[in-house]
Amino acid sequence: MQLLPHQQRAYDMMQVENRGRIIIPTGGGKTYIMIADLVNQLRTANRPTISVVVAPRILLINQLHSEFSRFYDNSVTTVHVHSGEVDGLSTTNARELRDIVITNGALIHSHIIFTTYHSLQRVVDANIIIDNIYFDEAHHSTGRYFHQAVLATSKFANRSYYFTATPRIGRGDSKVRGMDNNRVYGNILEQTTAKELIDSGKILSPQIIPFDTDTVRDRYNAHDVDAENLLNIPHSPEIKIASKYLVRLKFERRAFCTDSRPLVIKPTLLFSFTLLSSFSASW
């Protein structure tokens, strides 16, 4: 795997620091830094290891598994810890997870656990030693309901790394949960600027394309309006290449008798405008 300069800087720092933050703009290839480090750890370890990859959504953690699995063989066991459907080993029971990983009181071969922030506490409750843990979209780790599990792993994991494009800083009551808490998140190991990636041609500069619309956007229709506007943007020729890969998701609304307002399932933005630009640049 050939790393780009900013990726190499982050990777090199991870070899000398056991904890830290890697802050790189969207489209900068954070995933491949994680993969490069994990592959090196698997190759150089003198014993079986346990590594954990954490992401905010099941869709994303399954995607990460697909990308990671290209770089290790069947000697490594993969386990998913979340409520989604996957092929292979999967559980949300902490005791069962421990039984999968530990055989007759010993770790026989290396394991990689793919989990979400919602299910990370199950990994903590399994009471297993974590050698490497990689947090994708690490700004989610500052959430009130996730931070206790993140804090626990920071105390007993041998190596912990937090990847994000948008570090969340704590203020007031949430200050202890902020990513500027060095006791939990460590120091900044790499902070790549968008300018560096734009100047090197890795991503394209964001564009502002004004257009007229008669639609009134409010809190209830925001997801539909944003999707419609994105599809109706008069794209440049470069963006048109990528726009055919957009999938417009349909969302179900259900009214509950306990609340007069409809429950709206908001979409996850699969492609930011910058991502669209960087994607089109690669074609």
Structural domain includes residue 111: yes
Structural domain includes residue 115: yes
Same domain (yes/no): 169, 228? no
Same domain (yes/no): 147, 274? no
Structural domain includes residue 236: yes
pLDDT band at 244 (very low <50, low <70, confident <90, very high): very low
Structural domain includes residue 146: yes
Same domain (yes/no): 133, 262? no
Q: Mapping DSSP to helix (H, G, I), strand (E, B) and coil, where does residue 111 land?
A: strand
Structural domain includes residue 208: no
Domain that holds residue 267: 222-281
What pLDDT is attached to residue 234?
59
Q: How many domains, in total, are found in the chain?
A: 2
What pLDDT is attached to residue 236?
53
Helix, strand, coil percentages in the chain from 3-state DSSP, rounded to 5 = 40, 20, 45
pLDDT band at 159 (very low <50, low <70, confident <90, very high): very high
Same domain (yes/no): 119, 158? yes
Same domain (yes/no): 26, 132? yes
For residue 71, the domain's CATH number is 3.40.50.300
pLDDT band at 233 (very low <50, low <70, confident <90, very high): low
Helices marked H in the chain: 5-14, 30-44, 58-68, 94-101, 120-125, 147-156, 182-185, 194-199, 222-232, 237-243, 273-281
Q: What is the mean pLDDT of residues 217-228?
A: 84
Same domain (yes/no): 191, 237? no
**The model's pTM:** 0.78
Same domain (yes/no): 146, 227? no
